[in-house]
Amino acid sequence: MDRPTLILSVMLMALLMRAATVSAQAVAQDSARTFTISPGYRFTEKSGEALYNATCAGCHMPDGKGAQGAGHYPALADNPAVEAAPYIIGNVLHGRKAMPSFGDAMNDDQVAAVVNYTRTHFGNRFAESVTPGQVRSLR
Amino acid sequence: MAGLVAAFELRNAGYHVQVLEYDDRAGGRAWTVRGGDRYTELGGATQDCDFADGLYLNPGPWRIPYHHQGVLDYAKRLKVPLEPFIQVNYNAYLHSTEAFGGRPQRFRAVQTDYQGYIAELLSKAIRKNALDDALSVEDAHLLLESLRQWGALGQDGSYQAGRRSSERRGFATAHGGGLMPSAVPSDLLPRDPLLASSLWQWLSSGNEQDFQSTIFQPVGGMDRIAHALYSQVASAVVFNAKVTAILQDEQGVTVRYTDTTTRAERNAHADWLVCTIPLSILSQIDIAVGPDMRAAIDAVPYETSVKIGLQFGRRFWEEDEQIYGGITHTDLPISTIGYPATGYGSTGPAVLLGAYMWGPASYEMGALPPAERIAVALSQGSQIHPQYAREYQTGFAMSWSRSPFTNGCFAAWTDALREAHYANLCQIDGRIVLAGEHASHIPAWQEGAVLSSLDAITRLHRRIVNG
């Protein structure tokens, strides 16, 4: 009878300890495994990887492979369409079909970072060449 | 809801109907998760809900305003029992991590003090003749009297700790009986920190018509209404039907679908089609409609949201803190703690809503695995209720962006998008009409789905009858 409780409390301690690094105000440090919750209506992550995990991964999945249900979320992994940087920047800034826009919730640096990350990971080997200026010109 | 409403009403009107449903259950987003339910989200994470008997989470809609007469009409006609949903609870908390040392404050204290200070300041301005331009002498007297009542001010127009304020914000020592200690008034929250706290942002949360009393929930879970509708048309419903194409010509409509359990490809034929597939899915399906409707289907982004149900071993919010139903608001990303508005005083476990998130936080939370979403909700909620760590038992975390049947939460129309596309979306295109919350001015509410469906089938019937 006691065992489930014991396991639970151990697990919960672990969860709470982990969560201590997760406070609402924990922002800046975007190391790979750090998780941020942004207060307000702007994303606070800065690195491409952190931004990818905070936004794109919700639908396109952490491995970039997309998903299939009643409809689908397209894969970003090994996706030739990712080569066309303006297309990807435009999708992030303005949305596409049911995909919401992120232009109001990210600045130019953030959009460039997450687009460059996507273009250079998940089997994509395109140039990491998107600049904040290019993002600004497509707003 | 929209599809079930259309099937129910059209069948009552004498039509033969067939309903194709992607899921293996009826109701769509009008959904309740209970112990024993298994849910696999996009990406493959599976949650086996382990809530105790009778406990539930409504991952989608969880309240029905009194003016949502379409939904309430089905509850009445189909004899679905309702009970009050508690929106505003004066004894629940308002919480800011930055204010009052992060200690949650009771709604009644914040509201009483906020009104008291505002009334006091306005009274001072009137007494200093600062509003003479706007007020006659008689009206100034009336306003002073109304402020005295509204703000619980003293005869001199000041707002002070004492009997009058404590009758609203609560006494430090409450009135008792016999020789129990005498009542002691409570101290006020200081004015300037209260203003700086921004806790006032939630005081008017119950003033919007959508949240005014009386507001309802079905006894036992939100899916009760959808299930009551389903029971009326069950013989017409095909589950596990994934629609892959929608064709029409002058003779009729053909819907191609895959039986997701057998992989068999099938066709359904009909004279007319009411299509209630969310635009997030429909925009990926070949559908034979004109370019204007096609553009409308493709135009609307979908918002996401995260809702997390947490089961605790006892109702500590009732037993320790005298919170019976209602909502605690916090500036933590979880935003909301919703206490069950049912089963008050019962012993044993209970489920509360431990997070209801929108905006960037809901994207970030929704992209985590379910167990980690729950961990964050526990960590944040324990800043308000330290009992969490000892009492937590099990949870269920819904991320709407990962919903296999909707790819999102609801249609996030903007004024500009409505201007460009809404009318085109709602037209009858040949033999096809769309319905759902996305084809309404009440997005995300069941009432939008119901009214949209009723309007669509009314126009469709008129077209059929009149040619």
pLDDT in tens, B166-178: 999 999 999 999 9
pLDDT at A34: 59
Closest residue, chain A, to B299 (C-alpha): A97
pLDDT at B309: 98
Q: Which amino acid type is present at position B138? A: E
Question: Chain A contact for B366, CB < 8 A?
Answer: yes
Rounded to 5°, the CA angle B312-B313-B318 comes to 75
Cα dihedral B155, B158, B160, B162, rounded to 10, equals 0
Q: Which amino acid type is present at position B21? A: E
Return the structure tokens found at B365: 């939370």
Q: How many CB atoms lie within 10 A of CB B457?
A: 24
Instruction: Express each pLDDT in B148-162 by its tens digit.
Output: 999 999 999 999 999
Task: Name the residue facing A72 among B43, B284, B366 (closest C-beta).
Answer: B284
Q: Do A12 and B389 touch (CB under 8 A)?
A: yes
Which helix (H) or strand (E) covers residue A73, if one does?
Answer: strand A72-73
- What ipTM was reported for this prediction? 0.93
CA A134 to chain B, closest CA, distance in angstroms equals 24
pLDDT (tens place) for every residue of chain B, 467 residues total: 999 999 999 999 999 999 999 999 999 999 999 999 999 999 999 999 999 999 999 999 999 999 999 999 999 999 999 999 999 999 999 999 999 999 999 999 999 999 999 999 999 999 999 999 999 999 999 999 999 999 999 999 999 999 999 999 999 999 999 999 999 999 999 999 999 999 999 999 899 999 999 999 999 999 999 999 999 999 999 999 999 999 999 999 999 999 999 999 999 999 999 999 999 999 999 999 999 999 999 999 999 999 999 999 999 999 999 999 999 999 999 999 999 999 999 999 999 999 999 999 999 999 999 999 999 999 999 999 999 999 999 999 999 999 999 999 999 999 999 999 999 999 999 999 999 999 999 999 999 999 999 999 999 999 999 98
The DSSP letter of residue A81 is G
Q: Do B361 and A38 touch (CB under 8 A)?
A: yes
| Selection from B95, B151, B97 nearest residue B123 by Cα | B151
Question: Chain A contact for B276, CB < 8 A?
Answer: no
In order of their start, the domains of chain A are 2-137 (1.10.760.10)
Question: Chain A contact for B359, CB < 8 A?
Answer: yes
pLDDT along chain A (139 residues), means of 10: 38 41 38 67 94 96 97 94 94 97 97 96 90 97
Domain ranges within chain B, ordered by starting residue: 1-22+239-293+411-467, 25-88+205-230+305-407, 107-174+187-204
Question: Chain A contact for B404, CB < 8 A?
Answer: yes
pLDDT at B455: 98
CA atoms within a 13 Å half-sphere pointing along the CA-CB vector of B74: 29
pLDDT at B420: 98
CA B365 to chain A, closest CA, distance in angstroms equals 7
Compute CA distances B444 → A70, B106, B377, B441, whole Å: 19, 30, 23, 10
Closest residue, chain A, to B372 (C-alpha): A15
Which helix (H) or strand (E) covers residue A68, if one does?
Answer: strand A67-68
Tell me the C-alpha distance between A25 and B67, whole Å. Answer: 39
Which residues of chain A are within 8 Å of residue B359 when distances are taken between CB atoms? Answer: 38, 40-41, 105
Q: In angstroms, how far is CA B376 from the centroid of its own chain? A: 21
Tell me the C-alpha distance between A99 and B31, whole Å. Answer: 23
Question: Chain A contact for B244, CB < 8 A?
Answer: no
| Cis, peptide link before residue B40, omega less than 30° from 0 | no
Q: In angstroms, how far is CA A57 from the centroid of its own chain? A: 5
Q: Do A15 and B378 touch (CB under 8 A)?
A: yes
* Superfamily of domain covering B1-22+239-293+411-467: FAD/NAD(P)-binding domain (3.50.50.60)
Q: Do A12 and B301 touch (CB under 8 A)?
A: no
Domain B107-174+187-204 has CATH 3.60.15.10: no
Q: Is the dihedral of CA B200, B201, B206, B208 positive or negative?
A: positive
Which residues of chain B are within 8 Å of residue A97 when distances are taken between CB atoms? Answer: 280, 283-284, 298-299, 301
Which residues of chain A are within 8 Å of residue B241 when distances are taken between CB atoms? Answer: none
For B25-88+205-230+305-407, CATH number out of 3.30.1370.60, 3.40.190.10, 1.10.150.120, 3.90.660.10 equals: 3.90.660.10
Tell me the C-alpha distance between B274 and B6, whole Å. Answer: 8
Q: Do A55 and B363 touch (CB under 8 A)?
A: yes
CA B292 to chain A, closest CA, distance in angstroms equals 14
CB-CB contact of B242 with B258 (8 Å) = yes
CA A130 to chain B, closest CA, distance in angstroms equals 23
Q: What is the pTM (predicted TM-score) of this model?
A: 0.93
Which residues of chain B are within 8 Å of residue A54 when distances are taken between CB atoms? Answer: 360, 363-364, 367
